[in-house]
Amino acid sequence: MNILVTGGAGFIGSHVVRRFVKNYSNYTIFNLDALTYAGNLENLIDIDTYHNYNFLKGDIVDSQYINKLFQSTNFDGVIHLAAESHVDRSIEDPLAFVRTNIIGTVNLLNAAKDSWKDNFEGKRFYHISTDEVYGSLGSEGLFAEETSYDPNSPYSASKASSDHFVRSYGKTYGLPYVVTNCSNNYGPYHFPEKLIPLFINNIIEKKNLPVYGDGKYTRDWLYVEDHAKAIDLVFHKGNNGETYNIGGFNEWQNIDLVKLLCSVMDKKLNRSQGESEQLITYVKDRPGHDLRYAIDASKINKELGWKPTVTFEEGLEITVDWYLNNSEWLKNVTSGDYKEYYSKMYS
């Protein structure tokens, strides 16, 4: 089997690529990534020399490149993770999200459809998406697969659009696809613009911890390797034409999460309890901020037997340890452009 993974040098993609390369030595894994600011080959240094791993530097927005790639390699499956993924950046530059998340996805769909030439036996296009497409919940309720789409940020609107394109290729051309919509991930190799790694880095450097609004925004958190396991399962056992929601059954208000993280960090850094909490600073809210996301993951649980295996306390501890033990990685990704971005967003 030849499998194309897009966005494999990013956070979730690197966990997926590592899992497939290590667990399926009979597959050849092609990791296609444009290496934007969020892509980093250091995330995959440990599997770089595996015989079944190939890295391809390329942009999914470049349809000529994508078509040629599909003509020269007979892919059996596509696991599509490449995306612009940060909500705050989507507010600054929505078109970048239209290009990669919508046009890039349609380029891949076209290339898959054309190269598979309507002989879809044994083929699968797997699109990875987010719970943010469903919009915002009040204090009650959960997002189910049937929940109507109601995206509120340019990021979630672009992901919603790409989900619709994938489904339309299933209906119109018979392309075999699966879509999963997952809640917030955390874990090693997460780029420090997102809440948990940003705050770990800021606590190490004793910088302010910018909490949006009143800190009551609620998210469901899932350890990234549990997401990678779910992706493996859906890729192999999911039913074509289906959507599965993936979540951690683990809701946290931002402020409670930040306080828990501060306490773990104080312990690890031998600081007095409460020291890092002093860094919390409430900042002006993000426009269009969704109040609460929460996932009903009972379908994937009942149909495919998936459930999270890592508790939040365990996952957070593994994550904090990883960042503390990988200061070189952190230093490399927070030098250069990151500094400029950080001062624009937070000063």
**Helix, strand, or coil (residue 91):** helix
Which parts of the chain are beta strand (E)?
A: 2-6, 28-33, 53-57, 77-80, 124-130, 177-182, 184-186, 209-212, 218-223, 242-246, 251-253, 280-283
What secondary structure letter does DSSP report for 188? T
Nearest to 132 by CA among 74, 92, 79, 85: 85
The 180-209 site mask, x for binding ligand NAD (CB under 6 A), equals: --x-xx-----x------------------
82 touching ligand NAD, by CB under 6 A: yes
174 Rama class: left (phi>0) / alpha (psi -120 to 50) / beta: left
Among the listed residues 22, 35, 168, 173, the single contact to ligand NAD using CB under 6 A: 35
Q: Does 85 interact with ligand NAD (rule: CB under 6 A)?
A: yes
CB 184 within 8 A of CB 219: yes
How many other β-carbons are positioned within 10 Å of the β-carbon of residue 344? 9
DSSP-based three-state secondary structure for 53: strand
Helix (H/G/I), strand (E/B), else coil: 90: helix
Per CB under 6 A, the list member of 18, 89, 113, 159 interacting with ligand NAD is 159
Site for ligand NAD in 122-141 (CB under 6 A): 128-130
- 155 included as an active-site residue: yes
1: Cα separation from own chain's centroid: 24
Q: How far is the CB of 146 from ligand NAD (least distance, A)?
A: 19
Q: Which is nearer to ligand NAD, 223 or 276 (CB)?
A: 223
Which residues, numbered 265-324, are part of the site for ligand NAD (CB under 6 A)? none
> What is the C-alpha R_g of the chain?
20
Let me know if 132 is a catalytic residue: yes
Stretch that binds ligand NAD, among 21-29, 67-75, 76-84, 170-178 (CB under 6 A): 76-84
The closest residue (CB) to ligand NAD is: 10
d(C-alpha 11, C-alpha 126), whole Å: 17
Active-site entry in 132, 145, 193, 226: 132
Task: Please select the residue that binds ligand NAD; options are 3, 9, 47, 142, rule is CB under 6 A.
Answer: 9
Choose the catalytic residue: 33, 59, 84, 131. Answer: 131
The CB-of-209 to ligand NAD minimum distance in angstroms stands at 19
Q: Is there a catalytic annotation at residue 131?
A: yes
Residues contributing to the site for ligand NAD (CB under 6 A): 6-7, 9-13, 33-36, 38-39, 59-61, 81-85, 100, 104, 128-130, 159, 182, 184-185, 191
Positions marked catalytic: 131-132, 155
